[in-house]
Structure 1
Amino acid sequence: MRIAVILGSTRPGRRSEEVARWVMNVAGTRSDASFDLIDLAEVNLPLLDEPVPALFGEYAHAHTREWSAVVASYDGFVFITPEYNHSFSAALKNALDYLYAEWNDKAAGFVGIGGTGGLRAVEQLRLVLAELKVATVRTQVAFGRGDLQREPEHHETLHAMLDELVAWASALRSVRAVAA
């Protein structure tokens, strides 16, 4: 079971890097899946520049084919998303929009960051992921503005979310096998 932890902000000085390190440390204690950090600042996709909609999977650019291979290799995702103007970042939306089939029939969980724990960003992200045929788990981790303390409550919530994510990602393997 392979899970990508996607750091959904590219903003300089972002607090989400600290949260991503914490998620990776906690996830690293688990034996039910392997977890890899994908930092969108390092992926460095340009604004969507594919001439054909992602639904058709006809990629003209090497950066899209590389991104496709990365996303296709995972069974599920943890999205770490700050909240910008009641939504998630443009960089994350751009990364999602590049692909379609590579996201299909996989599972996702969320770690939100912001004034309301990133709840509105996660809410918006769930809508986009539904269109990409990604099953999202209910439990999510929410960090309020300035509150990056690792309280036991956050650890428990993260483990609960990861339990749900691994279960759903495992179940969806059979769906992907039938679809293939």
Structure 2
Amino acid sequence: MAKPKIGVIIGSTRQGRFGDKPAEWIAELARATGDFEVEIVDLRDFPLPFFEEPASPAWAPSQSEVARKWQEKVASFDGYIMTAAEYNHSPTGVLKNALDYAYNEWANKPVAFVGYGGVGGARAVEHLRLIAIELQMAPIRTGVHIVWADYAQIASGDKKVADFPHLVQSGSDMLSQFAWWVNALKSARDASLEADKAAAE
């Protein structure tokens, strides 16, 4: 049986961003569990315009070609882990925009967060959990929060994320919870598809 496929989404596109470091770390940690097929997804590869569609993708196909490519990428995963920078107590605009540019593709899948910033990105993650619920995702309770003292040492190159035992423990706990939800919701989605096929015959 094929392993569930998860996307690790780098939630920032700015020059000199920090998000690559936790994204690569959590992707490596996820691969090491043996539970998932893992792909890092860089929002720089999907230069979405500021949302300007005539209707939400929940109600009408997107006109933007890059939006349709983004939706196809989102649809290819069974769950998501997002890095969450905190800008003025909120997630980045580019990540919120990317979330808005899909709808059905997110539904009934789990999402987990690796936050970073002054309070470990906690306020941005709280916002993202509310957005995820509206998009019919299942946000995982346990997350990783890289506080400023740890962030500064990682950003400077003095240490790596993996050098902090408390972050490794948080990542392992999050992935354990995440794996349960990935498998549970994948089974439920597969069963629903089979029921729909049977009803159509």
TM-score by length of 2: 0.85
Structure 2 CA distance for aligned equivalents of residues 124 and 52 of structure 1: 23
Alignment partner of 1:112 out of 102, 111, 115: 115
Aligned pairs for 1:2-151 (under 5 A) are 2-147=5-150, 148=154, 149=161, 150-151=163-164
Q: Which has the larger radius of gyration?
A: 2
Return the alpha-carbon distance in structure 2 between the equivalents of residues 136 and 88 of structure 1: 15
Deviation of 1:11 after TM superposition, in Å, equals 1.4
Q: Distance in 1 between matches of 2:184 and 2:28?
A: 25
Q: Distance in 2 between matches of 1:108 and 1:4?
A: 10
Runs of 4+ that moved beyond 4 A: none
Which runs of 5 or more residues in structure 2 are unaligned?
155-160, 197-201
Instruction: Structure 1: give runs of 5+ residues left out of the alignment.
Output: none
How many angstroms does 1:61 deviate by?
A: 2.1
Give CA-to-partner distance per residue, 1:9-50, whole Å, 9 cap, x none.
111111111221222222221211111101112222111132
CA distance in 1, matches of 2:63, 2:103: 15
Q: Larger strand proportion, structure 1 or 2? A: 1
Percent identical among aligned pairs is 39
Offset at residue 146 of structure 1 (A): 4.4
Structure of greater relative contact order (alpha carbons < 8 Å, 6+ residues apart): 1
Partner of 1:152: 165
SS in 2 for 1:9: coil
Q: Secondary structure at the match of 1:54?
A: coil
In structure 2, C-alpha distance between the alignment counterparts of 1:63 and 1:42, rounded to whole Å: 9
Distance of 2:149 and 2:22 partners within structure 1:
12
TM-score by length of 1: 0.94
| Partner residue in 2 for 1:165 | 178
Moved more, 58-67 or 103-112: 58-67
Paired residues, what number?
A: 180
Q: RMSD over aligned Cα, in angstroms?
A: 1.4
Sort the Cα spacing of 1:163 and 1:26 in 2 relative to 1 into closer, same or farther, 3 A.
same
